[in-house]
Amino acid sequence: MSLNKLFSNRKWLLVAVSVLLIVVLSGCTSTTTTLKTEDLLQGNFWERNVVYYFSLALDTFAGWFSGEYGFAILLLTVIVRLCILPLTVKQMRSSKEMQKLQPQLAEIKKKHKDNPQKQQEETMKLFQQHNVNPLAGCLPIFIQMPVFIALYNSIYMNSAIREHTFLWLKLGEADPFYVLPVVAALTTFVQSKMMASQNPMQGPMQFMMLIFPVLIFVMSINFPAALPLYWVYSNVFTIVQNYFLYRDKDKEVRPAK
């Protein structure tokens, strides 16, 4: 497989994974599937061994906050995101290294434009010299998916959360004023915009940056408020995280004069 096809496939792979995640989250649960945490131990393998512990953590954290599940969701979101932060940093570093190599990759492509095999060989040599794996950025996404799905399921299936009221929201019902869906969509857009400013996007990735907030809004107006609340928490965490991770990027990649 040529390197051009590899990069193209990587972009489409990221798009496919993102769409798959949304489909899984939106289609694999039912509004009637609400259980007490202990009942999850009688469920399938995923519910017994993964979702149960996330749900138990939510119940425990809610106890710390006098029964406030809105704060429990916040705390669990922060803990989960901090746990996967090393993966996020790895993904960011891989992206930075690829950005640094873009001028040399363009030169190789220009120099060997009539010889795809030589172009691929020289590109692979360049990656080896700089110890760069062009697919390294994909691995964290696959590792994060089960974590996020489990967290999502634990919020969705916990009957105590469904019956709880937080601020103006009844966490088991959709936001009647559409405030939360709008905030979820806006924070998703800001997050995507920040990533696009650091990693120029083309074609399908640009399309996904535009369509993601719309998808999040549509799902948020139909899902129980606990879920878009988690998305808002997660998006805000990501926005703050990316600010600190990428704020010195220009200094790092700016060529010396």
**144-165 pLDDT, tens digit each:** 677 778 878 888 888 888 888 9
Max CA-CA distance within the chain? Answer: 69
**162-196 pLDDT, tens digit each:** 888 998 888 888 888 999 999 999 998 888 787 76
For residue 75, pLDDT over 90 is answered with yes
Q: Is 216 exposed, middle or buried (0-12, 13-18, 19+ CB in 10 A)?
A: buried
Domain ranges of the chain: 3-20+31-251
Cα 73 to Cα 230: distance, rounded to the nearest angstrom: 6
- Both structure tokens of 200: 């120029």
pLDDT band at residue 18, thresholds of 50, 70 and 90? low
How many CA atoms, within 13 angstroms, populate the side-chain half-sphere of residue 210? 6
- Inter-helix orientation angle 139-157/3-27, to 10°: 10
**56-74 pLDDT, tens digit each:** 999 999 999 999 999 999 9
- pTM for this prediction: 0.75
Give the dihedral sign, CA 145/82/62/232: negative
